[in-house]
């Protein structure tokens, strides 16, 4: 697809920010307003030039997410009952079982969605939140890459919860085999939801400001 660059206003060669122009932007609908405006007249969203208080929200949701993620790994996700035995499987335990059965691909999907993405997300959000005040912590390109990953990939962790829902509704074969969801399914889902809120609370403009202050523009 053809890319078209937006036009830089004024005689300047360099991109200027809305804040430098004394204006304030709406993060919901991308409209621009005079600096003293507090509510977007187009979509009704609250206007804040830089939301520094957002970091408190980020950390609060982050902590709630971690507190739910620990029990999600310790308690069983699935409780399987067959004629001969009853077994409880945690997230990692279930994936290891899959590898023993030879379904390596599916095990990888589960491990990526339920272990790699959540843990990576906790680390990334923490790094981003800390690096707002300590910009030297990470190279700038990595910070922007990280933010995009955190924002768009996090919701895919819900896969495991939906797998449990489908298995538990489908495998109900009276005494031969039945599957019940375990307590970890709830805490895992809550952990995903809380970290989504945490990631959404990050104001990415804070990250870009630091780059400008320390390194100039990436262009």
Partner 1 sequence: MAAPTYHDTKDLIACTECDALYHVVDPNPGELGVCARCHHVMIRPRRFAGMRIIMMAVTMLILMVGAIYFPFLRVEVQGLAHSASIMDAVFAFADVRLSVLSVLTAAFILLIPALRMGLLLYVLVPIVFDRPALAGARRAFRWSEVLKPWSMAEIFAIGCAVALVKVGDLARVEMGPAFWMFIGLVIVVVVQETFICSWSIWKSLDSQSA
Query: Does residue 57 interact with partner 1 by CB under 8 A?
Result: no
160 Cβ neighbours under 8 A, 6+ residues apart: 77, 91, 110, 113, 114, 188
Query: Does residue 48 interact with partner 1 by CB under 8 A?
Result: no
User: Cα(121)–Cα(110) distance, rounded to whole angstroms?
Assistant: 16
With CB under 8 A as the contact rule, the residue among 64, 67, 106, 137 that binds partner 1 is 106
Residue among 90 and 200 whose Cβ is closer to partner 1:
200
Q: Which stretch binds partner 1 (CB under 8 A): 4-12, 66-74, 119-127, 128-136?
A: 4-12
Residue among 62 and 203 whose Cβ is closer to partner 1:
203
- CB-CB contact of 148 with 170 (8 Å): no
User: Cα(28)–Cα(118) distance, rounded to whole angstroms?
Assistant: 26
Query: Does residue 174 interact with partner 1 by CB under 8 A?
Result: yes
Query: Does residue 59 interact with partner 1 by CB under 8 A?
Result: no
User: Cα(215)–Cα(85) distance, rounded to whole angstroms?
Assistant: 62
From the list 59, 64, 26, 63, the residue with the least C-alpha distance to 202 is 59
Q: Which stretch binds partner 1 (CB under 8 A): 53-61, 64-72, 106-114, 123-131?
A: 106-114
Query: Does residue 139 interact with partner 1 by CB under 8 A?
Result: no
Q: Name the minimum Å distance from CB 119 to partner 1.
A: 19
């Amino acid at each position: 697809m053809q890319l078209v660059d937006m036009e830089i206003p004024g005689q300047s060669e360099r991109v200027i920010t809305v804040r430098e122009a004394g204006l304030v932007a709406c993060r919901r609908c991308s409209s621009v307003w005079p600096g003293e405006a507090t509510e977007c007249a187009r979509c009704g969203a609250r206007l804040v030039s830089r939301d520094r208080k957002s970091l408190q929200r980020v950390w609060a949701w982050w902590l709630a997410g971690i507190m739910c993620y620990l029990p999600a790994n310790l308690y069983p996700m699935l409780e399987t009952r067959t004629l001969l035995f009853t077994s409880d499987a945690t997230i990692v335990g279930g994936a290891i079982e899959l590898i023993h059965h030879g379904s390596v691909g599916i095990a990888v999907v589960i491990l990526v969605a339920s272990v790699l993405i959540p843990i990576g997300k906790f680390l990334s959000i923490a790094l981003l939140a800390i690096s707002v005040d300590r910009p030297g912590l990470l190279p700038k390109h990595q910070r922007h890459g990280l933010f995009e990953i955190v924002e768009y990939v996090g919701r895919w962790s819900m896969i495991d919860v939906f797998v449990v829902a489908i298995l538990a509704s489908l495998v109900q074969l009276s005494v031969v085999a039945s599957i019940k969801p375990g307590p970890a399914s709830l805490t895992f889902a809550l952990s995903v939801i809380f970290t989504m809120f945490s990631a959404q609370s990050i104001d990415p403009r804070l990250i870009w400001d630091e780059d400008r202050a320390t390194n100039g523009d990436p262009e």
